[in-house]
Structure formats: structure tokens, C-alpha cells
Structure 1
């Protein structure tokens, strides 16, 4: 076994019952003992760890045991001196001191104590305000200790430089214009819950490997973007903890409550926020009072519960009163489309809010105990340019500006076509439904009364039976039972359709207090489109009329009979 006193002490405190760990950290201890600490070819650089801790506490703040534990694994090495971990995932509830720890560690890594020449670092976030938090904090430390630190460092509002190593630490936003030619030794990605995908991350990582011992830190609290970058990192962490991935693939530090019910038990909050472990530091006391204040405010403002769960408890909430289903159940629709669907009966549907933005068309087929939905959508280029920066080469992902969705990826997957038309032609949907009719026996095409005014005649002229929904709100209440049953049971099969999953996540479920009926509305009126979900929903309107057979075989049999 290999040892470091901060690692040993932290694990001992947990095993003796002084610390309350969530499931992921319990797994972390087991995984470390089995796969890392038992590897005698590895070693902690205890001198470097001590230097980092002393440096941090002298110039920044007193470190808590969990922070010393995290620092130790930054300086875990192979026999040849290369670092064991290159990637670190640190996820904790708001207030746990992620940015403060990064400020201290980042300054140490560029300093002469780390000793690597030109070991530059970047702190990356979607917004400039978030990206520069640590650099501004370091700047303030430097200013407060100017006489003592000036011989070792040079600093401005946007850059910290260590004079002996000629290493710099600077902040960057993720807009792609300032990343070419980077030769970083380490990169810190902050607030990773806001990243829709890894497109900007890849560019920032392109310069790594040119310096010895490269490191990447992914830090943040969970958020509301699902099927995006943070979910990928969480899955990687889960694979490491379960032994499905190499033990050095990523260092998986995730602090969260284990169940939504634990929000109501303050004793369980330390699972998500390790800074409030007893005995509380002065900062921990202040933090705990603020968390308790936020929790108590939920009595008068229950709408803040989702925010409290997601940001304070690191437990992303999809309340059944506001979302169609928990994210895990929406993600479970990613089941392979069966290969033997052709010839079966299907229900078609179309939906759009306006021919100026999106149109969706869908078919649903009954297959054993599953309902299989295939979809196609169309979007007007002018709308996509205005709201999603579709034509920009550098994709801006700032949360207060354009919503960054991977339209180009969805195009490559064949899920959507972006068409350059002043008004989209509804015939796109008709042509696609006709193509589907070559594969399936489409019994009906469902649309609501508004869409029927535009599309009914063209579908009937194409020999489709059109079924009109005259009161869509009442249909929501009728179909809610099918939807509420289908998601938890894994009945809905969509293939790999992140566009439809995104549509579904954008749906706001409202419950009528008078009669308990549900209606499916929008969480945000313009940018978070729900057309794909509504088309899927409308196919369910007549799905009970479908048989689970390949009707083409029956027709072929009848044609072969000699009457």
C-alpha cells in the first residue's frame, strides 16, 4: 500500500463515522483502496503536497481536510515521474470552495515550487465574469501582500505570472477566438454544467501534452443541461468507480445527496457540501447559516426547491410538477430502433408553433410491449441564426445570451434539416410522412385544429386519413396517463435522438388544481422548442388502434390465395 497522511486521515475519519459520505464517495474509497493505493509502483510526492498546502494556507486560506485530500492526488506519480491522474472531476454543492481551491492550486502550479518552466494555465468558463473569479481572487491576494510577493510574481487584472518559471495563469471564455496556439500545462474548466457539448473543451485541450505532467480540472455543481457535457463526465466517473474504465481515466470526486428526501434532513447536507462537516470552521458556520436560510425560504417560495436541490445539494431536480419525467427516464428512451419494424401499422403526427421556426413530424409503431417513435424536424435558418447562432463559426455558449444547442450535430445525425426559406413549406412534413408510408402502414395522421387549417387538405389529397384534435389541452390530460406510465417503465423507444430528448426536457407540466388534469406547455416560449414532443404526444392519441403485427406479411398471404 502507498500512503499519504492527508489521504489516510480522511479515509480513517470516514471509516470511523466522523464523516457522512454519499454513494459516490463511498465508492471512491473502495475504488482507491482496490485500484490505486494498492499499487506500489505509484507514490505520492509528499514534499510537493506539503509545499502546496503550506503555500495555500500562507497566502490564501486554511484548508479543510477534504481539500488536502484532493490536493494529494494532484501530486500522485508513476515511478518515471509522470503524474498518475491527468483529469480531475470535482463536483460539489454551491459554497464548497471550489474556486478558492483552484485559485490557490493554480497559483502554486505556476510557481517555482512546482518548478516546471512555462507551465501555463488557463481558467475557462462560458462567461467572462465566471472565468475571471479566480484570477481576480489571486490578484487581490497579490495586492494585499505586494512587498512579499512582488519578487516572485507579476500580475494584472487578467494575468498572473511567476517570474522564475515564466509561467502564466489567465482566464479565457469559451468563444473560440483566443485559443489557437495554446501551450498550456494545465486547464481548469469552471461551471461545466453550462456546457452543451465538448466542442470548446477540445480546442482548449489541443495544446496539452507539450509540457510535462499535463492536468485538466473539471469543476462545478450540477445544472439543468441534460444529455450534455456534464452528464458525459458523470458517466465517465461512474465507469471508473465501477471498474468499467481504467482507474486513472479520471479522478472522480462527486459530493451530493443520495435521495431527494434528504433535502429535509440538515444532517445529510454535508454529503453535498463537505465544507459544513463538523467541527465547523468560521466560514463553514456562515455557509451553513446561509444554506439553512435558503432552505427555510422554500416554505414561502416552494418554486425555489428545484434550484436548491440542483445548486446547493448537487442533485439535479426534475420535479414531476414541472417536467414530463425525471431525466434518467427521458434518457432511457435511447434504446435501439428494432430492425424488423417495416410493414407494421403506424400512427403519424405533425406539429409546429409557427412555420417561421420549427416543424416536427413523427410516426409511432407498436412493437411488443414497446412504442417506437421515429421523428424528423425542420428549422428555418433565419430563426436558428437569431436564437442559436447557427451560422457562426465560433459558438458562443454564454447562459445569458444565445442558447447553445448542437444543431450541426443533429443535422449530421439526420434528425433535423435547417432550411433557408422565409416561411417553411409544410410539404417537408408531408414528403417525410409519405416516405414513412413506404415502410409502414400509416393508419392516420394526427394534427390539432390549428395545423389542420394549413395542412389537412394536402395530407388528404395524398390519401392519408387525417384525425383532428379539436381541444389539445384536454388531450394532454387524456394522454398523461400513457406518458406517465411509459417513461418509468421504459416503454418509449426513440433510438439515439438527443433532439427529441431536448424537446421533452423543455416541456413544462402544469397541473390544474381544480381537476388534477395535466397540460404540456413550454418552459420558455421562444428558444426551448417542444414541437418534437408534441408530435410524439399526438401519435399516442390513436396508438391503441395499432396492432402488433407485420401487416405486409398478411397482405402478401392474401394476395397469394386463389379465390
Structure 2
């Protein structure tokens, strides 16, 4: 029996506790193994080659230095799946991309360091280029340094692989292992045979992934490994890859060359159930210390600010930072709607104007008779010069580490000519809703600090003298409505149509609390985390609640 069969059978027979996503992937793999379809076949010799190489030549780089590296059953099964399925004619690998999501301290870095040595030495590729990629060079060097230590502990490998200034060099096939950061200027023009992207969830812009994926196009059978835990950054390349992987496992997308291994809890209620921990931690008890995880869970029960870290890093659940106003469950609402089909005729507006070149946000809040949900229509603006500079610089991280250029192409962000946004865009947008979409705005909430008298007069001339409602930005005005808004978000009564900018702003929002427990929104310590969308929502929400009876009489 192969390791793939042994592990997969135990998973599907519930002899090894596992999550839904792992059951899906092993059901798919065993079906491929037993029911040959298409041109792909399983070659056990090729499947065992990386396992035999690693356990024979790779030595422990920490702990018991120099000891043989013994792979666990879940690792052997994964290696056989990756390396064992090949084309029946060419014998080239089926899979060229692997996503591994595991809780921290399950041996991901050690496993990948050994893998890259195998790809360098034992994969029959001429002049293979192997790259460790991460957001920061220090992170990328973790895998590189561990591979170097493994080589130094192995007499056979150390004899043939030498450390040069910036790489590990195998003279026999002129292959190299290097570490590169995502902000490196040398990412273009690579010819990758093996690529390990470490901590994918920490990478805020997908350009690095796209570049490395494209760098493999000239290789016969390249391999791209993305290894990661979940993270606190949302709407990034990790979320995109995770969703893509789930769509493949659910049969919504067909990609014969992408293989995901997602170890996670099936739901957040399992986080304090010890029998479920292995779902996110396949190396629990062998690689990962179960006593330490018990300590972390116990601390999280006593310290709510520590719980998000445990949920994200040990159990791969989505969360925001511990200091955030909202949890990710409160931010995320997957309900979608087509605005033009909802029959809205009247709405309540809210907007937040930036002082200079920052993000500007406006919202229309709409409701329907017999429906207690609030549906949002949003628009954002940035100065045109800011986005042009991003394009000209080719800045992979983009401004604020979010994809403004993509959002502009999607039509959820607009630009305004020059180096700052004229606040007239708010008036023009509400007029556009009225004249082009037949949506009449009854009242508009705004921060009077940012609006001058001339613009205020223009609003009143266009929509009526009683339309504009000032919303003072302080605890006395904001505290109670924010607590009510949080409850509505938690109950999924605020439907933002999965707008990524809305969700980004909501997840960025932190709060300041006074001695009486009153709260108000703040950005926190990171100025790149915009909260303008949250403020425009709060302004509109306050006005809606204050004029609720009047609004419902109209609709």
C-alpha cells in the first residue's frame, strides 16, 4: 500500500480526524489512483523519489543536529501525490502548483527546505533555479538558511553543494538555490524550476505571485509551492488562492495542475475542542508540541486580545487584528444583490471627505418594506496623479498595500484629475444616482469639519435645504450608533455586496474608548489602513436611524 493510500484511507474512514477540505482532496486523489481517467498515471517509483532522497540525504538542521530527517505520514502522502502523478507518454508531472495551508509549527519550512534541495539535486533538470520568496528578505532566508544547514549536516550533500555569496550552487547541473524578497528589483527575468513562496498570507499584492508563476513557463515540469498559515490581511493573494482552491475542490473550477492541501478547523466553535485541533495541525504530537498549543488555547480563553492570533495562526480561521473594532465574521457578509433589480427608489446618503490626497468615500443606504436589512451602494475616489504614479513606478506593493489599480478597473473606485480630490464629486455622485438610477436621496450625513459653505449651499440647492445633516465626530454622537451598527453587522443586516474596499475599511477600523465606555473610530497606528468607508457608513447610518420612521413612511 502506498503512503497516499494509507493516509487517504485513514482520512476517509475517519481513523485520522480531518477537516472537510482535506477529505475532499484525498477523495479526489484516491479516485485518480484507482480510476484512471485522462492521460495521467501514478508512478510509485517517481512518487517515492523525493521521500527517499530527503530521508537519505537531508539531515536535521536544528534540535538533534545531523540526525536523519524522518517525514511523517501526512508529508509522505503529499509528496507521493505531488510527484507521483505523471503524463503516461512524457512521464512529466501533472501538478505544477501546490498550496499548503497548515497551522504554525507543523514543519512547513523544514519540509520545503528539504524539497528544494531535492529539486536542485534529484529532479533531473538542467541548471535548475530554485527560489525562496517572501515579503521580506529575512523571511525568505528562513527556508534558504535551513536548506544550507541541512546541507552542512549531510556529508554527501556538503561535498557537492557549496555556499556562494548569494546562493547555494550545485556544480554537477549548475543549479542554484536563492532567497529573494517581494520588493527585490531582480524578480523579472527569472527562470524558475522550483519556487517556494513562504507565508503567502503576508503578501499584500498578488504581483509577486504572478511574476513567479510566469517565470516557470520555460521549464519542463516546474513546481510552485505556496506555504502559509492564514493571516490578518484580507482581500489579498491568499484569499484569492484560498477561494480558487476551494472552487477546485468543490468542482466549480477545473484545473488539473493545481493541488491544494488546506488544513483548518471546519468551524470556529471547534477551537477549544482538543480532538479537533489536528484538523489544522497534521503534525500535532509529532512535530508540533500539543502541550504548547494547550497553553495557547488556555491563554486565549483568559485574554481575548490573544484569541485572534490563536484562531488565525494555529487553526487557520479568518480574523482581524486583536485591536480591531470588528471581527472578520462581523465584517464579512457573503450576500450579493443586483442593485438595479432591488426596486430601490429612496435612500439615505453618507460621505467622508479626505483632507488632501487620501481616500474619499460616499454611500447610499437603502431598505425595502418587509426587509430589515440595509443595502449599501458605495463609491470611492482618489487623485488621478496618485494612481498614475503607481503605474509609472511599477510599484509592486502599491499605495497602502492594496490593489487600487484593480479597484479602479472594477469600477468601485474613481479618479479625479490632479493631485487631490475636489469634494464636488460627492454632489455629482448623488445627482448621478438620482438622474441615472432613479434613486432619490432624502438625507445626507456628513462631517461638517471637511465641508465648506459653498459646497454645502450647492448640496442644499440641489437636494433641498433640510437634506444635509451634520454628524459631529465624537463619542457623544458616535458611540451608541456604532454599537448598534456593530450588532447589525454581526447579524448580517448590513449588506455591502462583498465590496472589497468597504470590507477593507471596516476591518481596518479600531476604536478609542473613554472612561465611561463610550467609543469612537480611529485608524490605529498604521496610516496605510484607511477607514474612510467606515466613516461614510457611520454618517449615513446615524441619519437613517434618526429619520427611520420618516424614511419608512416614504418607501
1:500 pairs with 2:510: no
Which of 376, 380, 386 pairs up with 1:377? 380
Q: 1:460-471 maps to which residues of 2 (within 5 A)?
A: 460-464=460-464, 465-470=467-472
Q: Runs of 5+ in structure 2 lacking a partner?
A: 60-68
Aligned residues of 1:89 and 1:217 also touching (Cα < 8 A): yes
Aligned residues of 2:102 and 2:264 also touching (Cα < 8 A): yes
Partner of 2:440: 441
Partner of 1:108: 118
What is the Cα deviation at residue 219 of structure 1? 0.9
What is the Cα deviation at residue 90 of structure 1? 0.4
What is the Cα deviation at residue 150 of structure 1? 4.3
Partner of 1:554: none
1:43 pairs with 2:45: no
Distance of 2:320 and 2:383 partners within structure 1: 30
Distance of 2:514 and 2:315 partners within structure 1: 29
Partner of 1:230: 238
1:404 pairs with 2:393: no
Aligned residues of 2:5 and 2:30 also touching (Cα < 8 A): no
What is the Cα deviation at residue 411 of structure 1? 2.4
Residue deviations 1:225-260 (CA, integer Å, cap 9, x gap): 222211121112212222222262521211112222
Q: 1:365 to 1:268 in 2, by over 3 A?
A: closer
Distance of 2:244 and 2:33 partners within structure 1: 17
Distance of 1:25 and 1:380 partners within structure 2: 45
Distance of 1:331 and 1:491 partners within structure 2: 8
Q: 1:481 to 1:89 in 2, by over 3 A?
A: same
What is the Cα deviation at residue 136 of structure 1? 1.0
Q: 1:245-256 maps to which residues of 2 (within 5 A)?
A: 245-246=253-254, 248-256=256-264
Residue deviations 1:519-539 (CA, integer Å, cap 9, x gap): 544354522111112212322
What is the Cα deviation at residue 103 of structure 1? 0.7
Distance of 1:357 and 1:236 partners within structure 2: 32
Q: 1:43-192 maps to which residues of 2 (within 5 A)?
A: 43-58=41-56, 59-60=58-59, 61-75=69-83, 76-80=85-89, 81-111=91-121, 113-145=122-154, 147-156=155-164, 158-175=166-183, 177-192=185-200
Residue deviations 1:32-51 (CA, integer Å, cap 9, x gap): 33455422653333223333
Distance of 1:435 and 1:247 partners within structure 2: 42
Distance of 1:199 and 1:327 partners within structure 2: 27
What is the Cα deviation at residue 67 of structure 1? 0.8
Aligned residues of 1:121 and 1:186 also touching (Cα < 8 A): yes
Q: 1:329 to 1:376 in 2, by over 3 A?
A: closer
Residue deviations 1:134-184 (CA, integer Å, cap 9, x gap): 111111222333x53344323336322322222222122222621222222
1:484 pairs with 2:487: yes
Q: 1:243 to 1:463 in 2, by over 3 A?
A: closer
Partner of 2:279: 271
What root-mean-square deviation, in Å, do the aligned CA atoms of Structure 1 and Structure 2 show? 3.3
What is the Cα deviation at residue 547 of structure 1? 5.2
Distance of 1:50 and 1:490 partners within structure 2: 53
Which of 416, 428, 436 pairs up with 1:431? 428
Residue deviations 1:46-71 (CA, integer Å, cap 9, x gap): 22333322221232321111111111
1:313 pairs with 2:322: no
Aligned residues of 1:132 and 1:158 also touching (Cα < 8 A): no
Partner SS for 2:332: helix
Distance of 1:327 and 1:157 partners within structure 2: 47
1:9 pairs with 2:2: no
What is the Cα deviation at residue 212 of structure 1? 1.0
Distance of 2:106 and 2:553 partners within structure 1: 53
Distance of 2:232 and 2:402 partners within structure 1: 13
Identify which range, 78-87 or 431-440, moves more after superposition.
Answer: 431-440
Aligned residues of 2:98 and 2:260 also touching (Cα < 8 A): yes
Partner of 1:324: 326
Which of 542, 546, 552 pairs up with 2:551? 546
Distance of 2:463 and 2:107 partners within structure 1: 64
Partner of 2:361: 360
Q: 1:463 to 1:258 in 2, by over 3 A?
A: closer
Partner of 1:559: none
Q: 1:471 to 1:74 in 2, by over 3 A?
A: closer
Identify which range, 315-324 or 501-510, moves more after superposition.
Answer: 315-324
Residue deviations 1:15-47 (CA, integer Å, cap 9, x gap): 555421122112223333345542265333322
Identify which range, 470-479 or 523-532, moves more after superposition.
Answer: 470-479
Distance of 2:231 and 2:348 partners within structure 1: 36
What is the Cα deviation at residue 304 of structure 1? 1.1
Partner of 2:293: 291
Identify which range, 158-167 or 476-485, moves more after superposition.
Answer: 476-485
Distance of 1:510 and 1:35 partners within structure 2: 55
Distance of 1:497 and 1:15 partners within structure 2: 37
Distance of 2:315 and 2:105 partners within structure 1: 10
What is the Cα deviation at residue 452 of structure 1? 5.4
Q: How many residues matched? A: 530
Partner of 2:63: none
Q: TM-score, normalised by structure 2?
A: 0.85
